[in-house]
Amino acid sequence: MMKKIIILMLAVATTACSSLQGFVKDNLKEPEVTYKSISMGELTQDKIELKPTFSIANKNSYSIPVDGLKYELSFNQKSMLKGATDKVGNLPANQSKEIALGIDLTKETLASFKDLLLKEGRIDYVIKGEVEVMGLSFPFEKSSTLYKPTVSLGRLEIKSSSFKQVDMIVNLIVKNDNDFTMPLDMLSYTVKTGNQQLVAGDLKEQKIQQGTNTLQIPVSIQLGQLFSSMFSLLQNPQLPLSFSFNAGGFENSVEQTLDLRTLLGR
């Protein structure tokens, strides 16, 4: 007898719940989810933070509770990671609220991201998911492209030169084809000739704006490290240099030759 009562109670509860959800669905205007932008947060050797921002608009004449947001990130049609936000809270009538997702690419996901970006120079990505409101789920989706910044060596500006030392400014040209600013917590560089390292240093807290950027790097080369005398310097005045740069795990090298005889003869 008790078993029949329990089954009956479950059936009534299920029917009531189903009816309630049907009532809510019939009388709730679907929240409007709009993609706003994407940016990069922390960019280091071990982590890249993507920060897509969505706007959720309440088209109803009453406040609605937004339970949360589930999402899935795919690169080149391959699912990379899934996640969810905490409870968003109540959304007032006829108002909207922006939600920024913090998606951290680390370990295997970061390795796959860099491999794809280094190989293709771009990644087609899709962020899709569901907004949960009052027990109902409303889907959203956004697809776009991330581009690898390109690095090239601009003009070398010689500030001073002598038989002991050459002081110059290295103009590093960074092109950012993305529609957002890229932060660089650390840009490290080395200058070598052959296997001999001449200079190493870093630039901190750099911002790579959209379009073409120029970063200026001061470099001093001690000629005494390379030539035992003025005669040996003049015998071999062509100094091949290799500039290597590492920004957030993305590496690039550029070759340049200095004619020291021209510099020292000025």
**In terms of pTM, does the model score above 0.85?**
no
Q: What is the dihedral of CA 7, 12, 18, 21, to 10 degrees?
A: -130
pLDDT digits (tens, 9 = 90+) for 164-221: 888 989 888 888 898 888 776 667 888 888 888 888 888 777 788 889 999 888 888 8
Q: b/e per residue, 214-236, with b = 16+ CB within 10 A? A: ebebebebebeebbeeeeebeee
Say which CATH topology domain 150-264 has: Immunoglobulin-like (2.60.40)
Domain spans of the chain, in order of start:
30-147, 150-264
Residues 6+ apart with CB under 8 A from 22: none
Task: Report in angstroms the alpha-carbon separations of 206 from 84, 120, 219, 246.
Answer: 31, 25, 18, 13
Domain 30-147 is in which class?
mainly beta
- Asked if the model's pLDDT at residue 150 lies above 60, the reply is yes
Given this model, what pLDDT does residue 47 score? Answer: 80
- Asked if the model's pLDDT at residue 18 lies above 50, the reply is no
Identical fold for domains 30-147 and 150-264, yes or no, is yes
Separation CA 105–CA 51 (nearest Å): 11
Residues 6+ apart with CB under 8 A from 61: 93, 94
